Amino acid sequence: MSKLLFSLRGVPDDEASEIKELLDINELDFYETSAGNWGVSMPALWLVNNDDYGKAQSLLNEYHQKRAVLQRQIYDQLKKEGKNKGIKDVFLQKPFRFMIYIGGVVFIFYISIKLLLEIGL
């Protein structure tokens, strides 16, 4: 029977492809399920053999530790060069969209507080 190894929801494409390659290199049989047409199903990697789960899990743990170190180094390098995006950069890149989002947040906050005060909770 198949066993869930790794959920792919919210996983970047490069990470998913690297994990699939890692499983292929180590000759672990797996298959992938997609999110479906409407995106409500669970995209994931499933192991065909339950006996391979321990080995696959240790490979994934090792991979994620290395990836975390690498991504931290990339982030630190971008920060050092001043190329990482902050809220100021997002505002300067698309100020109209930014103001619409802020306006939406303020509107929702206003409606929530107004209803709270009217109901008296």
Listing DSSP states for 21-43 in one string gives HHHHHTT--EEEE---SSS-S--
Which residue do the tokens 């292929």 mark? 24
Q: What is the pTM of this model?
A: 0.71
Q: What is the pLDDT of residues 58-72, one digit of tens each?
A: 999 999 999 999 999
Distance of CA 8 to the CA centre of its chain: 8
Q: What is the pLDDT of residues 6-46, one digit of tens each?
A: 999 999 999 999 999 999 999 999 999 999 999 899 999 99
The confidence score (pLDDT) of residue 121 equals: 61
Phi, then psi, of 92 in degrees rounded to 5: -70, -30
Write down the domain spans for the chain: 1-84, 85-121
Q: Which fold has domain 1-84?
A: Alpha-Beta Plaits (3.30.70)
Cα distances (Å, whole numbers) of residue 78 to 15, 49, 64, 81: 20, 41, 21, 5
